[in-house]
Amino acid sequence: MITMSPDVTLAGKIPAIIVFGDSSVDAGNNNYIPTVARSNFEPYGRDFVGGKPTGRFCNGKIATDFMSEAIGLKPIIPAYLDPSYNITDFATGVTFASAATGYDNATSDVLSVLPLWKQLEYYKEYQTKLKAYQGSDRATETIENSLYLISIGTNDFIENYFAFPGGRSSQYSVDRYQDFLAGIARDFVKKLHGLGARKISLGGLVPMGCMPLERATNFGTGGECVGRFNDIAVQFNGKLEKLVTRLSKELPGSILVFSNPYEPFMKIIKNPSSFGFDVAAAACCATGMFEMGYSCQRNNPFTCTNADKYVFWDSFHPTQKTHQIMANFLMNSTFSHFL
């Protein structure tokens, strides 16, 4: 396991990490809303502190937890809706993310999870609580100096566009749908900036065609990655990158960075052994091909014993070790911009 020693120089400059997005960065918000998109049961969390499931779609910690720890803040970023935490915890980091959501409201409707606009509403509520807790001046300082991470978009394609033939795919070509999503991303970043955020990282998509779920259903290719989905991820990332360049000129006093996980993730998938992995095509949980959420059952005899040997934990989500490697990469490539 890679160790990430706390960087005290960063901690002084970044008082908190504020997170928006989907299951890649949800630490358990979905436990507190009526949805089936949950992971607050075993074997999820088996390698987390105390071996307990938290609602993270992982066997342990996720990338944002590692980032928080690495900049000298707390070792985990708590979920805003988790009643066991309050503003004293959230003052140094909080996630509003909701598994199975997307930029598109129609994506969040599929499994009744928090749409992106609702996450922003919760953030406004958070600001009010922060001002009451820290005082107006200090809270304004915290808001301006905090690091804002956005990680979302995969579900818009996998769970929505390609899942419902009569839905968005009948309204938009893939290219136009990407433009539609990028427009929502633009509006979201502008609203965040309007609320005081100045250090914003907009995350891109991973090679979604290489998720075990997609490989398992890619019949006739021997379980290869689905090239079309990977091409879409690359194309959409290109649009987001251009968007960030444009917004950087539009939004005064802001540092906007496009954080692209595609290439580093693809390196892990293509050369798993060089990162200490044995398996990249199948996941640790159950058969490793189709299961996630409730189908990733505690007593499944096929579940692997050592998740550190697997790139993926379930058919959709990476293991703690993969999250840590990705966090390390993003710390080195992205965070330097915010100093």
Question: Does 17 have pLDDT greater than 70?
Answer: yes
Bridge partner residues of 274 (DSSP): none
pLDDT the model gives residue 230: 98
d(CA 156, CA 158): 6
The more confidently predicted of residues 291 and 84 is 84
d(CA 77, CA 63): 10
For residues 297-313, give the mean pLDDT: 90
Mean pLDDT check: name the lowest of 17-26, 118-127, 189-198, 217-226. Answer: 217-226
Q: Is 311 helix (H, G, I), strand (E, B) or coil?
A: strand
The pLDDT tens digits for 63-77 are 999 999 999 999 999
Q: Which helix (H) or strand (E) holds 149?
A: strand 147-151
The pLDDT tens digits for 236-270 are 999 999 999 999 999 989 999 999 999 999 999 99
Q: Is 74 helix (H, G, I), strand (E, B) or coil?
A: coil
Q: Which helix (H) or strand (E) holds 203?
A: strand 199-203
The more confidently predicted of residues 291 and 263 is 263
- Domains of the chain in start order, with CATH, are 17-212+223-266+319-337 (3.40.50)
Are 30 and 99 spatial neighbours (Cβ–Cβ below 8 Å)?
yes
Active site members: 23, 314, 317
CB proximity list for 26: less than 8 A, separation 6 or greater: 55, 56, 57, 79, 95, 97, 98, 99
Q: Rounded to the nearest 5°, which phi and psi values hold at 15?
A: -75, -20
